[in-house]
């Protein structure tokens, strides 16, 4: 019953469109993310628990497991 959980997500900066692959923590959500290109501090969009859900190519591990999130 083990679903494959992806731990890497490509974050796309909404300001400069810079893309960077980041590792996601398995049991926590990352609420803030600073773009390494333009330095903007990203926060999740309304209704999303973390920056990976809002801006990443893959949702965060708790969401992938359907176990809800830490928020
Ligand atoms: Zn940026």
Task: Break the chain into its structural domains and give their ranges.
Answer: 8-64
68 pLDDT exceeds 80? no
Q: At 62, give phi and psi (nearest 5°).
A: -60, -35
Any idea which residue has 């497991």 for tokens? 65
**Pairwise CA distance, residues 41 & 13, whole Å:** 10
- All residues with CB under 5 Å from ion ligand 1: 13, 15-16, 18, 35, 37-38, 40
Q: At 63, give phi and psi (nearest 5°).
A: -70, -35
* Cβ atoms 9, 20 nearer than 8 A: no
For the entire predicted model, the pTM comes to 0.84
| Distance from residue 23's CA to the centre of ligand 1 (Å) | 18
Give the per-residue pLDDT at 70: 56
pLDDT tens per residue, range 4-59: 889 999 999 999 999 999 999 887 789 999 999 999 999 999 999 899 999 999 99
* Cβ atoms 34, 15 nearer than 8 A: no
């Amino acid at each position: 019953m083990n679903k494959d959980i992806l731990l890497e997500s490509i974050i796309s900066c909404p300001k400069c469109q810079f893309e960077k692959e980041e590792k996601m923590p398995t049991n926590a959500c990352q609420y803030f993310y600073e773009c390494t290109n333009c330095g903007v501090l990203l926060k999740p969009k309304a209704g999303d628990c973390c920056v990976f859900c809002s801006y990443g190519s893959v949702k965060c591990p708790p969401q992938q497991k359907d176990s809800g999130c830490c928020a």
